[in-house]
Structure 1
Amino acid sequence: LRKCLYNAGFRPGDIVMNTFSYHLTPAGIFLDDACNGIGCVTVPTGVGNTEIQVKTMAGLKINGYIGVPSFLMSLIKKMEELGHDTAKGLSMEIALVAGEILSPSLRKGLNDYGIIVRQAYITAELGGVAYECPQENGMHISDDLYIEICDPVTGEPLPPGSIGEVVVTDFSNECYPLVRYGTGDLSVLDEGECLCGRTSYKLKGIMGRADEVTKIKGMFVHPRQIDEAAAKFSDEIEKIRVVVTRSGVTDMMTVEIQLKHGVAGIDTLKTAIDEKIRESTKLRGNTVFVAEIPEGSKKIEDKRKWD
C-alpha cells in the first residue's frame, strides 16, 4: 500500500484525510499504517459526519484524501454549500481512491477542482493489488502477486484482452497464503508496456462484480461496458440497455436507445453507436431507437430461452 500511495503522489509531510472506516473493516487501518510509513500526517476521519469533515479539511489545510471518489465530491459540494470558495481556498491536491468504480466524468469533475486523482485496487484479503501511475492508463499489478483473468463459472484462464474474474496468487504472505483466490471482481489484463517505463502487466480498472456479468456469443459483457460506450454520446442518449435473445443456436444482441428530445442525424448516430459498442464489448450488436425504456430496466436484459 505504500507503493500505491507513493506512486499516487503522496510525500512526507502531506496532511492526509483517511475517510475509510476503521471499524469492522481493515481498510482504514491498512491505509493509516501505509501513510505513516511514508511520512504523511494522517487524520483518521473515517466515514460520515460530512460537515465536521469539511471543517477539518478547511481548518487543517488538508492536501491529501484517501477514500471512495464519490465521497470526496460530496465533501467539495458541501464546502460550496457552506460558503467556502473552492476555486481559491481548496487545499486538496492529491487523492487516492478505491472501493468503488471511478467513472471518467467523476475523475474529470475532481480534476476540475485541481485535484490529482489516482485509483488503486485494494481488498481486505490482499491489501494493495494494483495501482495507477501518472499515465492513468490502467493499474500496475503489485510485484509479489500473480494475477489471472478467469472465466467466473469454470475458473479457467481467459485469453489476453478478455473480461473476467480477477484471480490472485500471493507469494509474499507466509502467514496467510492465498493460491488462486477468486476476488469476485471483473477486469481485463493489459500486457502492453506503459509510458511511465514499467513493464509489469496492468489491470484496466475494475469493471464490476462477477455475478453481474452476462455471457453473449462466448464473450462476457458487463453493464459498465455499456455505460462506457454510452458516455461518448451523453448529449444524445437519455437511456440505454442491451437485450439478449436467441435465434436458433445464435445469440442476438440488440442495443435499445432512448434519445433525448430533438436529437437529429439518427442514421449517422446509429453507425457511431454500433462502432462504439463493438469496440467496448468486442461484439456486433444492432442498435435500435425506441420511444421509451421502462424505468428500472436492467442494463442487460437476458431474454434467451434454454431448452
Structure 2
Amino acid sequence: MSSEFFDALETRDPAAREAALMAALPEQIAHAQSSSPAYTELLVGVDANAITSRAALATLPLTRKSSLAAAQAARRALRLGGFAAGMPRRIFQSPGPLYEPEPDADGADPWRVARALHAAGIRAGQLAHVGFSYHLTPAGAMMEAGLRAIGAASFPGGIGNTELQLQALLDLQPEAYAGTPSLLRILLEKAAEGGHVLPYLQCALVSGEACPPALVAWFSARGVDAYQCYATADLGLIAYQTTAREGLVVDEGVIVEIVRPGSAEPVPDGEVGEVIVTTLSAGYPLIRFATGDLSAVLAGASPCGRTNQRLRGWLGRADQSAKVRGMFVHAGQVAEVLARCGQRGRARLIVDGELANDRMCLQLEAAPAEGLVEQLQTALRDITKLRGEVELLAAGSLPNDGRVIEDRRPV
C-alpha cells in the first residue's frame, strides 16, 4: 500500500465498502437502542436486524442538533440528554450550550481525524502546530489525538497569543499546521512583517471556517499546501480533501445521506440537500444525525485513488425560514406540503412583496394534473396558516442549490 493512503480501507472496492457498512448498521442500531436511553425511546419498535440497506436506514427518524440541546436542557438527570452510551472519558462544550462527549473512550483516535491529517501530507515523526482551541471545545483535542495516532507530535498553540505562537513557530520549526485558516494566515503575515521565513512549514489541515481557493493559493504561494476537512464535535471526521482537490472524500467510519431540506427523504446523487450522518462510534452512536449543512454527492471516484463517496463541500445551511405576515415559515413546512400532496419534485417557496404586503408563491417541478394546484394551495394554507399561490414548473427549472425558501423582499 502506497504511503499516499492511510490504510487499505481507502481503496476498497465500493461494493465491498457498502456491504461492510450495511453489515455494521444493524449492530449499531441495536447498540444505540440498548445503550443510549434517548435512542431506546426514539427507535422503539424498530427491528435493528432489518436495517441492512440505505433504503431501510431512510425510514428511521432524524436526530437534529437542536434535539440534543433540548434533551440536555430538559433531562439533566440523564447525562448528555441520554444520547451517550455509557460514561465518556471527557465532555466538551459548544455554544448553545451544547455538551459533546469524546465519542470512543477506548479509541486512540476517537474522532478519526488521523485519516484527514495523513491526506494533508502530515507524517509520523513530524511536529504540527495546532491552532484550534483547547478550552471548552474539543477541536484542539480532536487534532491532537489524530496526530498522536499517526505518530506525529503536536504543539498546543490554541487560539490568540499570536506573538507567542509565532515565536514557537520560529523556535520549534514545525513541518505542519492543524487549525483554522484565519489563524494560519495571521501567523504567516506576522512572520513576513518581522522579516522571517518559515521554509520548514509545508503542509496544513484547516477546518472550522471557509477556506476558498484564493486563500488556498495564498498559502501555496508561501510554501504551505493547505487541505480542508469537514468535521464536527458531535460526529468527528465526516469528509476530507485530498491531493486531487475535487470535493471531499467521505470518512470510512460514517454513513452519509443527502436529504431534501426540511424532510428526511434522500435526494438523488448530485442534488443539493442536507448532510445526514450515521456514525459507527460506540460511545456516541448518533443515528441519522442532521448536521444542518448543505452539500451534494459528486459522481465517480476521486482521481487520487480513494474510492469512497465524495461531497462537493459546504454549500450553505439547510435550516431556512422566513417571517411572513408575522408568522415564521420553515423548510420543514414546505416538505410537509409536498408530502401531503404526494409530490417529490424540487420545490421553492418564494416570498416577496413590500412592507405589510407579503406574498408567497410555491414553485414546484411537477407535471400538470387536474386539481393539483388547488390541492397544494389548500395544504400550504393548512400547514403554514398563510395563503399562497402555486406555480408548476418543468423538471430542471429550479436551481440545484438546496434552497427551499427564497426571501426576495427588500431589506
Q: TM-score when scaled to structure 2?
A: 0.53
Q: Is 2:296 the partner of 1:184?
A: no
Cα distance in 1 between the residues matched to 2:153 and 2:352: 55
Look up the equivalent residue of 1:16 and give its one-letter code.
A
Report what 1:148 is aligned to. 257
Q: What RMSD, in angstroms, separates the aligned Cα atoms of the two structures?
A: 3.1
Structure 1: runs of 5+ lacking an equivalent = 222-242, 252-277, 284-299
Report what 2:155 is aligned to. 43
Q: Which has the higher contact order (CA 8 A, sep 6+)?
A: 2
**Are residues 44 and 220 of structure 1, via their aligned partners in 2, closer, same or farther at CA, if it must alter by over 3 Å?**
farther
Does structure 2 conserve the Cα–Cα contact (< 8 Å) formed by 1:70 and 1:106?
no
Report what 2:231 is aligned to. 122
Look up the equivalent residue of 1:181 and give its one-letter code.
F
Does structure 1 conserve the Cα–Cα contact (< 8 Å) formed by 2:257 and 2:275?
yes
- Out of 190, 194, 207, the position equivalent to 2:315 is 207
Report what 1:107 is aligned to. 216
Report what 1:93 is aligned to. 202
| Overall identity of the aligned pairs, in % | 36
Cα distance in 2 between the residues matched to 1:248 and 1:3: 46
Cα distance in 1 between the residues matched to 2:265 and 2:400: 20
Report what 2:248 is aligned to. 139
Following TM superposition, by how much is the alpha carbon of 1:196 offset from its aligned partner in structure 2, in angstroms?
Answer: 1.5
Give secondary structure in 2 for the equivalent of 1:211.
coil
Cα distance in 2 between the residues matched to 1:144 and 1:81: 43
- Out of 194, 198, 215, the position equivalent to 1:82 is 194
Written as runs of structure 1 = structure 2, the 5 A alignment for 1:215-226 is 218=346
Q: Is 2:115 the partner of 1:3?
A: yes
Following TM superposition, by how much is the alpha carbon of 1:301 offset from its aligned partner in structure 2, in angstroms?
Answer: 5.0
Cα distance in 1 between the residues matched to 2:199 and 2:191: 9
- Please give the per-residue CA displacement for 1:102-124, whole angstroms capped at 9, x wherever unaligned: 11111111111111111111110
Cα distance in 1 between the residues matched to 2:303 and 2:122: 21
Look up the equivalent residue of 1:41 and give its one-letter code.
A
Q: Is 2:170 the partner of 1:58?
A: yes
Does structure 2 conserve the Cα–Cα contact (< 8 Å) formed by 1:58 and 1:91?
no
Cα distance in 2 between the residues matched to 1:301 and 1:135: 37
Following TM superposition, by how much is the alpha carbon of 1:198 offset from its aligned partner in structure 2, in angstroms?
Answer: 2.0
Structure 2: runs of 5+ lacking an equivalent = 1-112, 323-330, 335-344, 354-358, 364-395
Structure exhibiting the larger radius of gyration computed from Cα positions: 2
Report what 2:368 is aligned to. none
**Are residues 220 and 33 of structure 1, via their aligned partners in 2, closer, same or farther at CA, if it must alter by over 3 Å?**
farther
Cα distance in 1 between the residues matched to 2:146 and 2:133: 15
Cα distance in 2 between the residues matched to 1:208 and 1:83: 39
Following TM superposition, by how much is the alpha carbon of 1:175 offset from its aligned partner in structure 2, in angstroms?
Answer: 2.6
- Out of 289, 297, 306, the position equivalent to 1:198 is 306
- Please give the per-residue CA displacement for 1:213-259, whole angstroms capped at 9, x wherever unaligned: 898994679xxxxxxxxxxxxxxxxxxxxx975999576xxxxxxxx
Look up the equivalent residue of 1:208 and give its one-letter code.
G
Following TM superposition, by how much is the alpha carbon of 1:41 offset from its aligned partner in structure 2, in angstroms?
Answer: 1.4
Give secondary structure in 1 for the equivalent of 2:249.
strand
Cα distance in 1 between the residues matched to 2:400 and 2:294: 16
Does structure 1 conserve the Cα–Cα contact (< 8 Å) formed by 2:277 and 2:287?
yes
Following TM superposition, by how much is the alpha carbon of 1:70 offset from its aligned partner in structure 2, in angstroms?
Answer: 1.7
Following TM superposition, by how much is the alpha carbon of 1:96 offset from its aligned partner in structure 2, in angstroms?
Answer: 0.2
- Please give the per-residue CA displacement for 1:39-98, whole angstroms capped at 9, x wherever unaligned: 1110001011111111111111112001111211111111122232x3xx4321000011
Q: Is 2:183 the partner of 1:71?
A: yes
Cα distance in 2 between the residues matched to 1:121 and 1:220: 27
